Structure 1
Amino acid sequence: MAERRGIPVYLSLEEAAEAMAVSVKTIRRWIAAGTIPAYRCGKRAIRIKLDDLEAAPRKIPAARY
């Protein structure tokens, strides 16, 4: 039996920012830098796939002693 893929979940910039605990401006910077892909829906709305957001690399700051 073939496994059925689920429908992708798309988030607004505000929802993506909240999910990643960053600002909307940071999400826009990541899109501009190519860190996460974004999709235009209609004339103005920009959406991000949840799977793409979860796969985005996150920098971990180095510990200082």
Structure 2
Amino acid sequence: MAERRAIAVYVSLEEAAESMSVSVRTIRRWIAAGTLPAYRCGKRAIRIKLDDLEATPQKMPTAQL
């Protein structure tokens, strides 16, 4: 029996920004900084793999008292 491969889900910059509660400009900054991988589809469309988007946030250290 053949193993089923999961198909990657890609979102637009606008969808990524909305799901992370940030601006599209912030998403573009993350891409430019190399923090968030992005993929060009055609001449202009840029898409982000949902798995990459979910992996972007980093846990902040808590203050020690």
TM range (shorter): 0.7 to 0.9
What is the TM-score with the length of structure 1 in the denominator?
Answer: 0.83
Aligned-residue offset at 1:3:
4.2
Q: 1:51 is matched with which residue? A: 51
What is the TM-score with the length of structure 2 in the denominator?
Answer: 0.83
Where structure 2 has 5 or more consecutive residues not aligned to the other structure, the ranges are none
The aligned amino acid for 2:42 is G
Where structure 1 has 5 or more consecutive residues not aligned to the other structure, the ranges are none
In the aligned structure 2, how far is the partner of 1:2 from the partner of 1:37? 30
Equivalences, count? 63
Cα RMSD (Å): 1.8
The aligned amino acid for 1:40 is R
Q: Percent same amino acid among aligned pairs?
A: 83
Aligned-residue offset at 1:59:
5.7
Listed one character per residue, the Cα deviations across residues 2-48 of structure 1 (whole Å, up to 9, x for unaligned) are 64221100000000000100000000000000111000000000000
Partner SS state of residue 11, structure 1: strand
In the aligned structure 1, how far is the partner of 2:43 from the partner of 2:60? 36
Aligned-residue offset at 1:61:
8.2
Aligned-residue offset at 1:57:
2.7
Q: 1:29 is matched with which residue? A: 29
Classify 1:61/1:19 alpha carbon distance in 2 versus 1 (closer, same or farther; 3 Å): farther
